[in-house]
Amino acid sequence: MIILIFHVSLLVPEFVLPLLTTQIITYRDYLPKIIGPRAMRKYLPKYRSYNSSIDPSIKNAFATAAFRFGHGTIHAIVPRLNESYKEHHKFPNLLLRNSFFIPGKLIYQGGIDPFLRGLIKYPNKLMKQDIVLVSDLYDHLFENVSQVADDLASLNMQRGRDHGLPGNGECKVKYEVMQF
């Protein structure tokens, strides 16, 4: 993989390198944790090369609904860690609800490193039936920057209706998932 990055980066280094790094993190580190090794083998075979005759479009139901599964993996706490991976004494952990639209905390409070260390050290929130979304996302979304807090769960469902998606039951039958 490193050799591949090196070779391609000789051609257009500043454009390709971040792109490949993102692909590697997504395919090698992230996706197997999300869908598991068996589904990886079955649905996502090894990347071979660019192929211009493959249609890259995705289903409306995936783009608008399924891909938002990630909202269920977000923690209510945004950790900020020092170089020893302990809570930063000057810039402590934040509540997610107080973290929206505050780039100043990135620029003036130790840069991006304290946030990245938090992402490295702690796993995602586990999806559970009783806590799909943390309340920071459904009762306190963007609270600090708007008159009324937003609600990500409602936005997600309403957006599905905007896009004319079929209901949950119908999708599950279509994609052969267990029906409730």
Out of 21, 23, 26, 144, the only residue in the binding site for ligand NAG (CB under 6 A) is: 144
Of residues 27, 133, 161, 3, the one with CA closest to residue 74: 133
DSSP for 59-83 reads -HHHHHTGGGGGGGG--SEE--B-T
Q: Which is nearer to ligand NAG, 116 or 173 (CB)?
A: 116
Measured distance CA(51)–CA(60) in Å, rounded: 23
Q: Which is nearer to ligand NAG, 21 or 146 (CB)?
A: 146
Q: CB under 5 to 8 A by kind: which of ligand HEM, ligand NAG, none does 21 bind?
A: none
Q: Exposed e or buried b for every residue in 32-63, given b needs 16+ CB within 10 A? A: eeeeeeeebeeeeeeeeeeeeeeeeeeeebee
Q: Which residues contact 78 (CB under 8 A, 6 or more apart)?
A: 93, 94, 95, 96, 99, 115, 118
- Smallest distance from the beta carbon of 152 to ligand HEM, in angstroms? 6
Three-state secondary structure readout of 90-128:
CCCCEEHHHCCCCCHHHHCCCCCHHHHHHHHHCCCCCCC
Q: CB under 5 to 8 A by kind: which of ligand NAG, ligand HEM, none does 57 bind?
A: none
Residue 155 near ligand HEM by CB under 6 A:
yes
- Smallest distance from the beta carbon of 137 to ligand NAG, in angstroms? 15
Stretch that binds ligand HEM, among 5-13, 66-74, 86-94, 168-176 (CB under 6 A): 66-74
Residue 95 near ligand HEM by CB under 6 A:
no
Q: CB under 5 to 8 A by kind: which of ligand HEM, ligand NAG, none does 126 bind?
A: none
Residue 140 near ligand HEM by CB under 6 A:
no
Stretch that binds ligand NAG, among 13-21, 76-84, 126-134, 146-154 (CB under 6 A): 76-84
Residue 134's SS3 state is coil
Chain residues binding ligand HEM by CB under 6 A are 63-64, 67-68, 70-71, 74, 152, 155, 159
